[in-house]
Amino acid sequence: MKNTKLVLSLFAAAVAVAGCSKETPKPAAKDAGQAPAASGAEVKIGHVGPLTGGIAHLGKDNENGARLAVEEANSAGIKIGGKTVKFTFVAEDDQADPKVGTTVAQKLVDARVAGVVGHLNSGTSIPASPIYNQAGIPVISGSATNPKLTEQGYKNQFRVVGRDDQQGPAIASYLASAKKPKVVAIIDDATAYGEGIANEVEKTLKAAKIQVLPREKGTDKTTDWKAVLTKLRGRNPDAVFYGGMDATGGPLMKQGRELGMKAVFSFGDGACTDKMQELAGNAAEGLLCSQAGIPPQAASKKFLDAYKKKFNSDPILYAPFTYDAANLLIEAMKKADSSDPKVYLPELQKISFSGATGQIAFDDKGDRKDAEMTIFTMKGGKIEPIAVIKSGKTQTYDEFVKTMGK
């Protein structure tokens, strides 16, 4: 009996320890929030991103972008419905957790925000989207790239970055034209992201009449890629594409070079970070990878200067996009002369706006038309942009920056 108790208490302790990293707040079930009061003196604009946890720095960066736009609008003294409005910025933390994401979405709906910028992650944006949709509040994400977000048929859901299914073709066509490989090997990590982008790459390469070897797979926890790479080495591919994150992509590339593979290694945005250099060392040099959108340093000079002045630092990743997202909401309200979501939503759908990240217009789904994709390479231990792909056309990065400078 004593032992049974001991076993049980140990088990309970184990469960408690294992459970402490998870939190399970139930999203409040609530009927559709009412539309916020039309054209008042105060208009609330919400922002959601992770402000705590592993990617808190990116969440703060996103928030700063949107905050800057709102404060600029306030100092410009915008008039809606004849009255000068004061925009209030409501920042929420979703901890990059889907469950918390739905809770704070409900909180914003209850606070009667007129529009929302966010969320940062696809994983939090997708579950939160039905809540905003039910309340009819326009939401613009500046960083969620999963295609599913805008495939749900919600009229109020937008994004100002590209989609993963635009990114795959972009990196594949760049690889095909810049490196002219005859045989390409494709590996993925068997996750929705990795498999999805690998499939897009394979489609594009096959359409370009490039031979693609049978797909190899790992997992998102694989550390030993040698068996796969040895097999591939025997078939002598000119290039390798890996759909997965940097934590697995780094070791993959390092081990490939150790085995003496000369192929060009290419990756999607999950492995398009400086961390690749840490994980693969010098072996990472020369890799190709893509990111949805443009690098922050390519955003308009006006935005970059204002950001630097306000926050005394440079934007990290998606701040120019959240800045544009907030400006789009404000612009649509101005055009409609109302902050009522029902009234200004149609304006947002047909908007054409020149933002910090270039010209923005939305298609029927709420995706950005002609979203840019940027190709990077690893040079001297840092990833550097080398080309920008927009509506199927490739420009070198320097040319692109010149057109943005105007």
Chain residues in the site for another protein (CB under 8 A): 3, 6-7, 10-11, 13-14, 17-18, 20-21, 54, 190, 214-219, 221-224, 226-228, 230-231, 233-234, 247, 250-251, 254-255, 258-260, 275, 278-282
CB distance 164 to 193 below 8 Å? yes
CB distance 251 to 195 below 8 Å? no
Looking at the Cβ atoms of 258 and 314, the one nearer to another protein is: 258
Minimal distance in Å, beta carbon 284 to another protein? 10
CB distance 167 to 145 below 8 Å? yes
Calculate the CA 253 to chain-centre distance.
24
Distances (CA, A) of 38 to 109, 114, 350, 351: 15, 9, 21, 21
Looking at the Cβ atoms of 252 and 373, the one nearer to another protein is: 252
Calculate helix-pair angle for 56-76, 301-311, nearest 10 degrees: 100
Looking at the Cβ atoms of 229 and 375, the one nearer to another protein is: 229
Minimal distance in Å, beta carbon 285 to another protein? 13
Looking at the Cβ atoms of 20 and 29, the one nearer to another protein is: 20
**Residue 9: left (phi > 0), alpha (psi -120 to 50), or beta?**
alpha
Q: What are phi and psi of 157, to 5 degrees?
A: -100, 125
Looking at the Cβ atoms of 219 and 403, the one nearer to another protein is: 219
CB distance 143 to 60 below 8 Å? no
> Strands 211-212 and 79-80: what pairing?
unpaired
Looking at the Cβ atoms of 346 and 381, the one nearer to another protein is: 381
Tell me how far apart the alpha carbons of residues 323 and 68 are, in angstroms, rounded to a whole number.
7
CB distance 167 to 200 below 8 Å? yes
Q: No. of H helices and E strands in the chain?
A: 13, 18
Minimal distance in Å, beta carbon 187 to another protein? 9
Residue 170's nearest CA partner among 290, 317, 295 is 290
Minimal distance in Å, beta carbon 214 to another protein? 4
Minimal distance in Å, beta carbon 248 to another protein? 9
Minimal distance in Å, beta carbon 60 to another protein? 18
Which regions of 262-334 does DSSP assign to beta strands (E)?
264-267, 288-292
Minimal distance in Å, beta carbon 351 to another protein? 39
Looking at the Cβ atoms of 84 and 223, the one nearer to another protein is: 223
Looking at the Cβ atoms of 18 and 29, the one nearer to another protein is: 18
Minimal distance in Å, beta carbon 80 to another protein? 45
